[in-house]
């Protein structure tokens, strides 16, 4: 977690405090009978007071963001545990239904996906220090707006289906980050927002996979392609979570 600033704040490090002190000094010298020494003293006191008030406000904001980060991590762990339990049910049902020899490949795909989901809570817990790091670095709405504009233009000009899909994901993520920046989120909160979004995407994908298993097996018309199609969104979301946790930041892929 980031280190909170000390109670004493040098007013010279606060441009606004310096500006206000300078204006106050000019007004006192020109409009009051105070001499320059007293005006300087009043300006210095005003700068120190304003800098301290702004620092206290910043500390309160950082403590609030720290609390939101902790709550978001706990919520992500709880959601991941729910998904792990849900994946156990899907895995067990697939084991019971996928009995024919030509269903073994489909069964293997389901089992592999469910195993990744079972390991997800532990993986998030292991990366908790990383998820808590980077506090106080606020997202820049201006920078994100410029990046989003470039990404949209690149998406518009892209002709490759594969690259269009990747660029579309980049546009979606930059849009979410821009929304986060406008709400005053820092980099940790934006990262956890991305994690939460992907966990909800997994929840929908896992429900769809379970529906496919219920509907198609046992059935002579069941196909590996149907299972692969249902698992693809789950694998994609899990891959994105892996990159997010490994890189320490959402690279918007």
Higher pLDDT, 98 or 216: 98
Q: Is residue 169 part of a domain?
A: yes
Q: Is residue 190 part of a domain?
A: yes
In tens, the pLDDT along 166-195 reads 778 778 877 877 877 777 777 788 888 888
Is the per-residue pLDDT at 16 higher than 80? no
Q: Which of 16-30, 156-170, 223-237 has the lowest mean pLDDT?
A: 16-30
pLDDT attached to residue 43: 65
Q: Is residue 53 part of a domain?
A: no
Is the per-residue pLDDT at 250 higher than 50? no
In tens, the pLDDT along 28-66 reads 666 676 666 776 676 677 767 766 766 666 666 667 778
Task: Identify the domain containing residue 193 by its residue range.
Answer: 76-247
In tens, the pLDDT along 125-165 reads 999 888 887 655 666 778 888 888 888 888 888 887 766 77
Query: Into how many domains does the chain fold?
Result: 1
Angle at 147 between CA 141 and CA 153, to 5 degrees: 135
Q: Is residue 231 part of a domain?
A: yes
pLDDT attached to residue 211: 83
Is the per-residue pLDDT at 81 higher than 80? yes
Q: Is residue 68 part of a domain?
A: no
- Please state, in angstroms and rounded to a whole number, the distance separating the CA atoms of residues 219 and 103: 10
Q: Is residue 243 part of a domain?
A: yes
- Close Cβ partners of 137 (under 8 Å, ≥ 6 residues apart): 186, 187
The confidence band for 2, taking pLDDT boundaries of 50, 70 and 90, is: very low
Q: Is residue 67 part of a domain?
A: no
- Please state, in angstroms and rounded to a whole number, the distance separating the CA atoms of residues 50 and 234: 51
Is the per-residue pLDDT at 251 higher than 50? no
| CB-based burial label for 226 (10 Å; 0-12, 13-18, 19+) | middle
pTM: 0.63
Higher pLDDT, 53 or 202: 202
pLDDT attached to residue 202: 92
pLDDT attached to residue 50: 67
């Amino acid at each position: 977690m980031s280190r909170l600033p000390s109670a004493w704040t040098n007013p010279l490090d606060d441009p606004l405090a310096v500006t206000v002190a300078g204006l106050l000094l000019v007004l006192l010298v020109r409009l009051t009978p105070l001499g320059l020494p007293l005006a300087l003293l009043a300006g210095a006191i005003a700068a120190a007071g304003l800098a301290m008030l702004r620092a206290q406000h910043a500390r309160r904001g950082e403590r609030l963001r720290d609390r939101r980060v902790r709550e978001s991590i706990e919520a992500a762990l709880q959601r991941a545990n729910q998904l792990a339990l849900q994946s156990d049910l899907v895995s067990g049902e697939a084991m019971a239904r996928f009995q024919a020899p030509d269903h073994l490949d489909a069964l293997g795909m389901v089992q592999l996906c469910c195993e990744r989901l079972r390991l997800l809570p532990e993986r998030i817990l292991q990366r908790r220090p990383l998820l808590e790091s980077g506090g106080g670095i606020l997202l820049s709405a201006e920078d994100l707006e410029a990046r989003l504009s470039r990404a949209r233009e690149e998406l518009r000009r892209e002709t490759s289906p594969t690259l269009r899909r990747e660029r579309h994901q980049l546009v979606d993520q930059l849009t979410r980050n821009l929304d986060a920046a406008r709400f005053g989120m820092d980099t940790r909160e934006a990262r956890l927002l991305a994690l939460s979004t992907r966990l909800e995407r997994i929840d929908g994908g896992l429900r769809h996979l379970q529906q496919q298993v219920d509907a198609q097996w046992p059935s002579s018309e069941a196909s590996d392609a149907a299972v692969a199609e249902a698992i693809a969104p789950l694998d994609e979301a899990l891959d994105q979570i892996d990159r997010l946790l490994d890189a320490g930041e959402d690279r918007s892929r």
